[in-house]
């Protein structure tokens, strides 16, 4: 490895990390504004223009507040839990390509923390790690409500992870037909969604060439399942039984305060953004979009992919906020029956259906 390559890796990681951190701060403010608008309130409007610095102010406040440690906590796990929440959240986003690669000298810089060939599996692995933070926080607090929150989180995470994984499998299988062999690398999956359907389905060329070649069109059911699953995975309303205020005070983080609470808070918003970004990457073509290369300055066509990526991601993030503001929370048995009796069989059925379609297109009918 040359030094140039080394610095580029550092640059990629720092850029990705920085982007995520800044956007998360924006997201917290955005959610409060959006939800406020939906509820005919004003929302934060004091700190900075439109109250955009409100998150920073809150963060500073939490940072300087006393971190109260209740007497009955299991100290080791109690301290460890917030870190377990933050680290996987950040690592997930490292896999997401958030812009077109560009050149510095003769080195190509991919705008992505890291491109693993097991990228998608890594994401699954890390998202399943997130549950430990909730469980351990709930348990180590040595108090009833957090414990119940923790137990709920475990069951919920396991239930919806299966549906999420199955939806991913369908996409990966479809994606395998769009290029040379299957892949789990997110950069490669994005690559395969460039262009329009016009090149793929010549019969409907006049119409199809206006439709981008995103996975959402052939895999719409997988997309919906994935969307529901990620809302549940991030413990957001209407699946926020982990921290249902009316039942569990604050849920798993009831006993946390100050900086440690801030870390859980941060992790939640990082997760929302990461998951939305993954949904955009898998189904909405990632950073793909018209760059008008040659007709606009190079700097604009270089930045446009990142803009597209952010637009798509924020569309989904907005959906998160919208759902939260509109839908009432599910009852626990409804949550479980939705997960096990609707989503997982649905995802399996869709998977089988798309297998048949793919096999049919590749090999023809078995008797022919």
Binding site for another protein (CB under 8 A): 74, 76-77, 116-118, 121-122, 124-125, 128-129, 131-132, 135-136, 139, 147, 150-151, 154-155, 157-158, 161, 181-182, 184
Write a three-state SS string for 282-350: HHCCCCCCCCCECCECHHHHHHHHHHHHHHHHHHHHHHHHHHHHHCCCCCHHHHHHHHHHHHHHHHHHH
Question: Minimum distance from CB of 267 to another protein (Å)?
Answer: 17
CB 23 within 8 A of CB 273: yes
Toward another protein, which CB reaches closer, 122 or 197?
A: 122
> Reduced to 3 states, what is the DSSP secondary structure of residue 293?
strand
Closer Cβ to another protein, 18 or 182, answer by number: 182
Shortest distance, position 156 Cβ to another protein, whole Å: 11
Supply the minimum distance, in Å, between the C-beta of residue 25 and another protein.
29
- CB of 155 or CB of 211, closer to another protein: 155
For another protein, which is the closer residue by CB, 110 or 224?
A: 110
- Looking up tokens 């019969």 gives 203
User: Is 54 buried (19+), middle (13-18) or exposed (0-12) by CB count in 10 A?
Assistant: buried
Judged by beta carbon, residue 149 or residue 286, the one nearer another protein is: 149
Cis-peptide, bond into residue 238, ω within 30° of zero: yes
SS3 39: coil
CB closer to another protein out of 74 and 247: 74
Tell me how far apart the alpha carbons of residues 353 and 70 are, in angstroms, rounded to a whole number: 53
The minimum distance between CB 168 and another protein, in angstroms, equals 11
The distance of closest approach from Cβ of residue 155 to another protein in the complex, given in angstroms and rounded to an integer, is: 7
Residue 347: both structure tokens together: 């995802």
Q: How far is the CB of 351 from another protein (least distance, A)?
A: 14
What stretches of 116-143 show up as alpha helix (H) in DSSP?
Answer: 119-140
Q: Give the whole-angstrom CA distance, residue 171 versus residue 190.
A: 12
Q: What's the min distance (Å) between Cβ of 77 and another protein?
A: 7
CB 235 within 8 A of CB 243: yes
Cβ closest to another protein, residue 122 vs residue 287? 122
């Amino acid at each position: 490895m040359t030094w140039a390559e080394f610095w580029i890796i550092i640059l990629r990681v720092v850029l990705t990390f920085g982007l995520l951190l800044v956007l998360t701060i924006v997201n917290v403010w955005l959610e409060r504004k959006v939800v406020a608008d939906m509820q005919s309130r004003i929302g934060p409007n004091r700190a900075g223009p439109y109250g955009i610095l409100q998150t920073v102010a809150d963060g500073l406040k939490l940072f300087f507040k006393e971190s109260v440690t209740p007497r009955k906590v299991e100290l080791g796990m109690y301290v460890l839990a917030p870190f377990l929440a933050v680290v996987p959240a950040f690592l997930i986003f490292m896999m997401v390509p958030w812009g077109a690669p560009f050149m510095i000298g003769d080195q190509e810089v991919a705008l992505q923390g890291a491109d693993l060939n097991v990228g998608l599996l890594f994401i699954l692995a890390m998202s399943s790690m997130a549950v430990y933070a909730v469980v351990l926080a709930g348990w180590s607090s040595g108090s009833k409500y957090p414990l119940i929150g923790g137990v709920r989180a475990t069951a919920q995470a396991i239930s919806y992870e299966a549906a999420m994984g199955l939806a991913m499998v369908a996409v990966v299988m479809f994606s395998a037909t769009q290029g040379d062999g299957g892949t789990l690398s997110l950069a490669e999956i994005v690559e395969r969604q460039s262009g329009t359907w016009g090149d793929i389905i010549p019969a409907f060329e006049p119409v199809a060439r206006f439709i981008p070649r995103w996975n959402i069109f052939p895999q719409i059911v997988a997309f919906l399942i994935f969307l529901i699953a990620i809302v549940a995975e991030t413990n957001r309303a209407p699946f926020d039984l982990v921290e249902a205020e009316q039942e569990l005070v604050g849920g798993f983080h009831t006993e946390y305060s100050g900086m440690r609470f801030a870390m859980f808070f941060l992790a939640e918003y990082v997760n929302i953004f990461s998951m939305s970004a993954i949904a955009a990457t898998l189904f909405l073509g990632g950073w793909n979009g018209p760059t008008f290369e040659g007709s606009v300055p190079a700097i604009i066509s270089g930045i446009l992919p990142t803009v597209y990526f952010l637009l798509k991601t924020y569309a989904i993030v907005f959906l998160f906020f919208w759902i939260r503001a509109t839908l009432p929370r599910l009852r626990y048995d409804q949550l479980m029956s939705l997960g096990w009796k609707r989503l997982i069989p649905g995802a399996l059925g869709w998977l089988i259906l798309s297998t048949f379609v793919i096999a049919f297109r590749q090999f023809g009918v078995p008797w022919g």
